[in-house]
């Protein structure tokens, strides 16, 4: 009764992110009521393994009392302190210092946001300001990567390279450009890592030359492309792109909103790429989704250029909730959980997940298995040689999601027929094995679909 009325209230009043309004009205909401560890419970009392950690964010897992305590304690003492007017509070100051210490190289300056989209948006503003401060205001062209996702603010959505975020919104702007993705499984140059790296390097150079090297402000990438379908670049690809930017004197921005905080193994994926970005964005795992928070990390030279350029003038960028004390207190506690064993468990479970998903390669519907750490994907095809995607009639996004749900598993189901995995780092070996076993059950069931049988080769 209560659930039914919630479904109806939701249908009438709650707008869901990135959803078909009509499709959602027809399907109705599934209400989640509680979570513990790597599992969530729905309003019918069913417990499911959350193989996607909410929206690749609950990296620490659900139900950590110490996090709840940290938030409650901060709320009791001081729920809010503005960072305007030279004011501040202890938790965000300590958090900034700890993050600066843990981040690669001299990413020593942190601007806190409310999530990933506004972190990316903030970098666009900082980048523009930086070039103005350097006396090169004509540097206003931005480059990102096809299949990339950089949030959905008006400016960020134009760096994003997924059509659903452009159609009907009038973006990208004419100053937002793209180069091809590394997408190994479907790369026209083949699977050879060096050939893919060489092609991307050449394309980035050519793009900069075409725009005019004196016009290009920045290049954005995700160390692993998430929302585009969990596309893992060849080893050395990120470093090669970083090197081109350094050589061509373009700012390099690593968007670590998904890859940060243990998702791929280390605290930041940039570490294992051996690079120091000029700016870096994070969110999600920063607070493990318990409360909203994101951040922009800035290298010394970027900070100093902006500081010197502005002089005594205030730099007009700020949010009421930047450096929110409750979010910062949560982030500090979450970080201590990561460093107190969760990162280590995540690395072990990530290896188990990848090994388990690899066993699915023999399945007639599995074209590709890829990932790193606790971030993975299984790409489904109906013809392994031709790499034919599932027919649209199967409606993979909803049908496969529903099936996984019925098997007690939450995974991301991308519209092009790709399962995405990003389980909490606290998963047990049994839970990882169950994720793999339940995926196989969904695949077997899907093999029986008439639309699939008609086209399977
Ligand atoms: N950047 C990347 C790489 C992301 O994956 C996301 C979200 O998934 C964002 C930015 C936007 O973050 P948010 O949804 O917190 O605004």
On whether residue 336 sits in a domain, the answer given is no
* Atom number of ligand 1 nearest to Cα 227: 5
DSSP-derived secondary structure for 214-242: TTEEEEEE-SSB-TTT-BPPPTTHHHHHH
Cβ contacts of residue 35 below 8 Å, gap of 6+? 41, 50, 58, 61, 62, 63
Same domain? For 308 and 367 the reply is no
Q: Is the pLDDT of residue 1 over 60?
A: no
CATH number at residue 204: 3.40.640.10
> Do residues 59 and 135 both lie within one domain?
no
3-state secondary structure 169-189: CCCCCCCEEEECCCCHHHCCC
Percentage, residues of the chain above pLDDT 70: 99
Task: Measure the CA–CA gap between 176 and 44, rounded to whole angstroms.
Answer: 46
Are residues 125 and 161 in contact, defined by beta-carbon separation less than 8 angstroms? no
Whether residues 47 and 169 share a domain: the answer is no
pLDDT, one tens digit per residue, over 402-422 is 999 999 999 999 999 999 999
Instruction: Provide the 10 A C-beta neighbour count for residue 189.
Output: 15
Residues 37 and 159 in one domain: no
Across 441-453, average pLDDT: 95
Q: By the 8 A CB rule, do 424 and 350 touch?
A: no
Give the pLDDT of residue 345. 98
Structural element, H or E, at residue 208: helix 193-211
Cα of 411 from ligand 1 centre, angstroms: 17
How many domains are there within the chain? Answer: 2
Among 32-36, 301-305, 383-387, 391-395, name the one with the lowest average pLDDT.
391-395
Give the bridge partners for 48, in sequence order. 40
**pLDDT reported for residue 4:** 79
Query: How close is the Cα of 149 to the center of ligand 1, in Å?
Result: 7
**Among 62-66, 213-217, 253-257, 392-396, the least confident range:** 392-396
- Decide if 9 is inside a domain: no
pLDDT band at 266 (very low <50, low <70, confident <90, very high): very high
Ligand 1 binding site (Cβ under 6 Å of any ligand atom): 115-117, 120, 149-151, 222, 226-227, 255, 257-258, 283, 294
> Looking at the predicted structure, is the pLDDT value of residue 355 above 90?
yes
CATH number of the domain encompassing residue 49: 3.90.1150.10
Statement to judge: residues 150 and 205 lie in one domain: yes
Atom from ligand 1 closest to the CA of residue 56: 8
- d(CA 3, ligand 1 centre) in Å: 30
- Locate the ligand 1 atom nearest the alpha carbon of residue 292 and give its number: 15
365 and 301 within one domain: no
What is the Rg, in whole angstroms, of the alpha carbon atoms belonging to the chain? 22
Residues 304, 430 within the same domain? no
- Asked whether residue 149 falls in the same domain as residue 269, the answer is yes
Indicate whether 3 pLDDT > 90.
Answer: no
Expressed in angstroms and rounded, the spacing between residue 343 Cα and the centre of ligand 1 is 21
Residue 211 has pLDDT above 70, yes or no: yes
Same domain, 391 and 309: no
318 and 346 co-located in one domain: no
| 330-333: long-range pairs with CB below 8 Å, 24+ | 330/67, 330/70, 330/71, 330/74, 330/287, 330/288, 330/290, 330/291, 330/293, 331/95, 331/286, 331/287, 331/293, 332/70, 332/91, 332/94, 332/95, 332/98, 333/64, 333/66, 333/67, 333/69, 333/70
Query: Could you please report the per-residue DSSP string of 77-144?
Result: H-S---SGGG---HHHHHHHHHHHHHSSTT--EEEEESSHHHHHHHHHHHHHHHHHHTT-TT--EEEE
Residue 161 lies in a domain: yes
Residue 164 belongs to some domain of the structure: yes
Residue 177 forms part of a structural domain: yes
Confidence of residue 2 (pLDDT cuts 50, 70, 90): low
Co-location of 130 and 233 in the same domain: yes
- How many whole angstroms separate alpha carbon 60 and alpha carbon 96? 20
374, 288 Cβ separation under 8 angstroms? no
Domain span at 142: 81-323
Looking at the domain assignment, is residue 213 inside a domain?
yes
Residues 374/258/177/278 CA torsion (nearest 10 deg):
-110
d(C-alpha 376, C-alpha 385), whole Å: 22
Is a pLDDT exceeding 60 seen at residue 445? yes
Q: pLDDT digits over 310-332, tens only?
A: 999 999 999 999 999 999 999 99
Is 12 contained in some domain? Answer: no
Residue 258 Cα to ligand 1 middle (Å): 7
pLDDT digits (tens, 9 = 90+) for 282-299: 999 999 999 999 999 999
Of the residues 272, 297, 323, the one at which a domain ends: 323
270 and 380: one domain?
no
């Amino acid at each position: 009764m209560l659930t039914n009325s919630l479904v109806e209230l939701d249908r009438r009043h709650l707008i869901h992110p990135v959803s078909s309004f009509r499709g959602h009205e027809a399907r109705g909401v599934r209400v989640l009521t509680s979570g513990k560890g790597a599992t969530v419970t729905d309003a019918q009392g069913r417990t499911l393994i959350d193989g996607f950690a909410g929206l690749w964010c609950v990296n620490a897992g659900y139900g950590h009392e110490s996090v709840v305590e940290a938030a409650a304690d901060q709320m009791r003492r001081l729920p809010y302190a503005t960072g305007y007017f030279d004011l501040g509070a202890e938790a965000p100051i300590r958090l900034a210092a700890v993050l600066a210490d843990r981040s690669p190289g001299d990413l020593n300056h942190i601007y806190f946001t409310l999530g990933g989209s506004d972190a990316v948006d903030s970098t666009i503003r900082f980048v523009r300001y930086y070039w103005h401060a350097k006396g090169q205001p004509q540097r206003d062209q931005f480059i990102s990567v096809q299949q990339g996702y950089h949030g959905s603010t008006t400016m960020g959505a134009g760096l994003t390279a997924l059509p659903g975020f452009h159609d009907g919104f009038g973006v990208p702007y004419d100053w937002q450009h793209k180069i091809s993705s590394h997408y190994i499984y479907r790369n026209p140059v083949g699977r050879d890592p060096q050939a893919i790296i060489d092609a991307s390097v050449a394309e980035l150079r050519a793009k900069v030359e075409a725009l005019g090297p004196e016009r290009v402000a920045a290049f954005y990438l995700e160390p692993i492309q998430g929302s585009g379908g969990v596309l893992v670049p060849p080893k050395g690809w990120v470093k090669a792109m970083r090197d081109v930017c350094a050589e061509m004197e373009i700012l390099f921005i690593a968007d670590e909103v998904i890859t940060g905080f243990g998702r791929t193994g280390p605290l930041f994926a940039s570490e294992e790429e051996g690079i120091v970005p000029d700016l870096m964005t994070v969110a999600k795992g920063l607070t493990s989704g318990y409360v909203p928070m994101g951040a922009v990390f800035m290298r010394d030279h970027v900070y100093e250029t902006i500081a010197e350029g502005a002089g005594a003038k205030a730099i007009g960028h700020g949010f009421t909730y930047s450096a929110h004390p409750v979010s910062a207190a949560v982030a500090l506690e979450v970080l201590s959980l990561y460093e107190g064993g969760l990162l280590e468990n995540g690395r072990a479970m990530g290896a188990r997940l990848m090994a388990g998903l690899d066993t699915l390669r023999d399945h007639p519907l599995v074209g590709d298995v890829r990932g790193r750490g606790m971030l993975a994907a299984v790409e489904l095809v109906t013809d392994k040689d031709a790499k034919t995607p599932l027919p649209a009639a199967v409606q993979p996004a909803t049908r496969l999601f529903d099936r996984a749900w019925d098997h007690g598993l939450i995974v991301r189901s991308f519209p092009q027929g790709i399962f995405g995995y990003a389980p909490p780092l606290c998963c047990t070996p049994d839970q990882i094995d169950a994720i793999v076993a339940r995926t196989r059950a969904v695949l077997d069931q899907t093999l029986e679909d008439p639309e699939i049988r008609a086209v399977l080769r």
